[in-house]
Amino acid sequence: MSKNKKIMFGLSLAAVAIMIMFFSTMPSAGSKEVSIEELMTKKDIYQDEYVLTQGLLKEDSIKWNADKIELKFEIFEEGKTKYLPIRYEGVKPDNFSDDVIVIVEGFLREDGVFEAEKVQTKCPSKYEGEDPNNYDAGMHKKMNENKQD
């Protein structure tokens, strides 16, 4: 094998390795997003598969064990009565309270408990817009005048 072919072979191998690393680190490559309803009704399909789901936190279900750094809670979909039990080993998120949407990634165990490897929260009130009926045109105009000064 000539020197040029060896260099081309090495560069090709490096390019393939970089492509594999790039696609394996993409967030969407790691998990499949499913609803709680689908996850609970099709347990056989999603058991032992890494999935992402989200729901509202049932606040009275929170059990935090600081000694073990273990968090147990339940989430549900709005308007539905089925609760998905979650177990998570890690730090409890800061805004873990009522009216919080919880996003979990992990595996559904055989006993129906979701073993979360990642827990995130988002507060829906932060993303809701102001009521357009409460729009104060005078205040808005005053704010714009102050920006120009």
Contact 98, 57 (CB under 8 A): yes
pLDDT of residue 23: 73
> Where does the pLDDT of residue 136 fall: very low under 50, low under 70, confident under 90, or very high at 90 and above?
confident
More confident residue, 91 or 136: 91
Return the number of other C-beta atoms located less than 10 Å from residue 88's C-beta: 21
Res. 63: pLDDT tops 70: yes
pLDDT of residue 102: 93
CATH of domain 32-122: 2.40.50.140
3-state SS record for 86-141? EEEECCCCCCCCCCCEEEEEEEECCCCCEEEEEEEEECHHHHCCCCHHHCCHHHHH
More confident residue, 21 or 117: 117
Res. 124: pLDDT tops 90: no
Average pLDDT for the chain: 84
pLDDT tens digits for range 74-123: 999 988 888 999 999 999 888 887 778 999 999 999 899 999 999 999 87
Res. 26: pLDDT tops 60: yes
Res. 147: pLDDT tops 80: no
Exposure string for 117-145, b = 16+ CB within 10 A, e = fewer: eebebeeeeeeeeeeeeeeeeeeeeeeee
- Spans of all domains in the chain: 32-122
CA distance 57 to 23: 32
